[in-house]
Amino acid sequence: MAKRSVIPFGPQHPVLPEPLQLKLVMEDEKVVEAIPAIGYVHRGLERLAQEKDYQQVTYLAERVCGICSFIHSLTFCQGIEELMNVTVPDRAKFLRVMWSEMHRMHSHLLWLGLTADAFGFESLFMQGMRTRETILQLMESTAGARIMLGTCTVGGVRRDIESSAFGEINTALDSVARDLDQMAPTILNDYSVRERLVGVGTITAQQAFETGAVGPVAKACGFARDFRTTGYAAYGQLDFKPVTETAGDCFARTQVRFAELYQSVDLIRQCMAKMPAGPIAVPVKGNPDGEIIARTEQPRGEVIYYIKGNGTKNLERLRIRTPTFANIPALLKMLPGCQLTDVPVIILTIDPCISCTER
Amino acid sequence: MSVLAKSPWVVHFNCNSCNGCDIEFLACLCPTYDVERFGVVHVGNPKHADILVVTGSVNHRNARVLANVYQQMPSPKVVVACGVCTSSGGIFADCYNVLGGVDKFIPVDVFVPGCPPRPEAMIDGIVKAVGILAAKAKGIETPVADKPRITVSPSPKPVDETPAQEPDEVGAVK
């Protein structure tokens, strides 16, 4: 047996935008085992949520993660609304879907760029980030901010998208779809990209099921697990099918995310076509009492919020289970047996969000 | 910018951030903003860098890593702290695991306010840092940066009887 050595990967590593440490037990160039060490971005957000007014927690929830921020606040608001029996106006539901899908697109494009960077394809990275700017500008023109929108609130949304802005949104979506078409042959057919992704970091459907993988990791193994199909917000009135692949390797996860980008373009267009008239928010009185579990689909998978109120303005407990936390056990199944050079690519194909995981 | 004798290379460290500032910093380096055309190159190795861009506040676990990254950089070096968390902890100021701003641990030369700051503001911060870098290279003393005036002041923390929970450690049980 070859001599084993341990290589620390992270917390400060060029391919990782966030501090995650993996101790890689190596046999020559081959990874035998990966031991994660997290806690570099733990803030203690759940405890802070108990000291703030539940309305303020909406903005705190938004800062669980800067990448899928809107969907975090949406999940929290949906939980509180269900707890307080608030009926959200239809228009607000459609607006929420629009911003959620914009966040999904910018998250997937960021992921696409970072993965391309991890396998050394810098021009593809720049192309992904260039397309992403279109989405960020779209968010800025509709909500007033590029990243932290702050538009979701308990009882509805705080900003309306006038129908006069739909033309501009359509133009932006056209340009995004054009860019995606341009990138598609490179990502899906390019020889060097396929060499780095096909058959790398494979996980079987059985392993994905046992480790409780969510989002694109589960979808790439053939599980049509997409929480949007339950029809929260306005998803019930929109027409879409969860994207699935069966190979379970890095390439399948790439295909799933790339197809979801097109799906998001389509969902935003459907929202604009079906947008009902009416108010965008209802006033909310009182305080939440009781406990509830709220779930939504994030770019990385399903997020779970457990909210417990006790009739006062402060919550008694807030617990967040984020998708990356569910995907880390699956990651640990993918790594053993791979080459050291493939480690960054495999880590990035689960699209890790460490800020989410550690809160 | 006429003082610019060399291209400033930056290393980025995510301290305790929510990612908002990090992806905006990444946007600075990419098309639309593209600071690379001015020679600002993002490097992974602190030993190659002139400017350290920090985002987020400091917690118990990453304070040592931050100090390590800072110490590994060769002099002269400049620290740019991006986002409100770096000056006070921002929205997380009252969290039990947040020790405070970055300036408690390493000297900060430029603060960029915002949650998250816009890429334009970050570029402004880096341009300021280049001037400071040139001054430091000539041996001129530069003052430590003033904190942004409008910032969240942490309220006195309530005495908590229960000890702070350790973060979840995946793989701790083997």
Q: How far apart are CA A153 and CA A55, in angstroms?
A: 8
What gap in Å lies between CA A107 and CA A69, rounded to an integer? 10
ipTM higher than the 0.85 cut: no
What pLDDT, on the 0 to 100 scale, is given for residue A1?
60
Chain B residues within 8 A of A40 when measuring between CB atoms: 16, 59, 61-62, 65
Name residues of chain A where pLDDT drops below 50: none
pLDDT at B174 over 50: no
CATH number, domain at B24?
3.40.50.12280
In the predicted structure, residue B149 carries a pLDDT above the cut 80: no
Q: In this structure, what DSSP letter does residue A342 have?
A: G
Give the single-character DSSP code of B8: P
For residue B62, give the nearest of B105, B91, B19, B94 by alpha carbon.
Answer: B105
pLDDT band at B172 (very low <50, low <70, confident <90, very high): very low
Q: Examine residue B16 and state whether it is found in any structural domain, yes or no.
A: yes
Q: Identify residue A355 by its one-letter amino acid code.
A: S
| Contact between residue B54 and residue B86 where contact means Cβ atoms under 8 Å apart | yes
Give the count of domains, chain B.
Answer: 1
Interface check A37 vs B, CB under 8 A: yes
Is the pLDDT at B157 greater than 80, yes or no? Answer: no
> d(Cα A89, Cα A91) in Å, to the nearest integer?
6
Size (chain B), residues: 174
B chain contacts of residue A132, beta-carbon cutoff 8 Å: 27, 30
Q: Could you give the CA distance from residue B13 to residue A118 in angstroms, rounded to a whole number?
A: 18
Among the four given CATH numbers 1.10.645.10, 3.40.50.920, 1.10.10.10, 3.40.50.1980, the one describing domain A43-358: 1.10.645.10
* Cβ–Cβ under 8 Å, residues A19 and B19: no
Q: Is B99 inside a domain boundary?
A: yes
Within an 8 Å CB–CB cutoff, is residue A184 touching chain B?
A: no
For chain B, the farthest-separated pair of C-alpha atoms sits apart, in whole angstroms, at 58
Tell whether B92 is covered by a domain: yes
Quickly tell me which residue has 């003393």 as its tokens.
B141
What does pTM read for this prediction? 0.85
pLDDT at B5: 62
- CA distance linking residue A151 with residue A161, whole number of Å: 11
Indicate the pLDDT class of residue B173, thresholds 50, 70 and 90. very low
Structure tokens at A289: 């009492």
The confidence score (pLDDT) of residue B170 equals: 43
Q: Determine contact, residues B6/B41, Cβ cutoff 8 Å.
A: no
Contact A9, A21 (CB under 8 A): yes
Q: Indicate yes or no: CB of B61 within 8 angstroms of CB of A42.
A: yes
| Contact indicator for B76, B137 with CB cutoff of 8 Å | yes
Cα separation of A149 and A69, whole Å? Answer: 8
B48 located within any domain: yes
**Two structure tokens written together for A162:** 């006038």
Query: Inter-chain contact A66–B21, Cβ cutoff 8 Å?
Result: yes
Inform me whether the C-beta atom of residue B67 falls under 8 Å from chain A C-beta atoms: no
Angle at which helix A166-189 crosses helix A90-118, to 10 degrees, equals 30
Name the B residues in 113-132 with CB < 8 Å from any A CB: 115-116, 118
DSSP-derived 3-state class of residue B5: coil
Range of the domain at B84: 9-137
CA B133/CA B140 separation, integer angstroms: 10
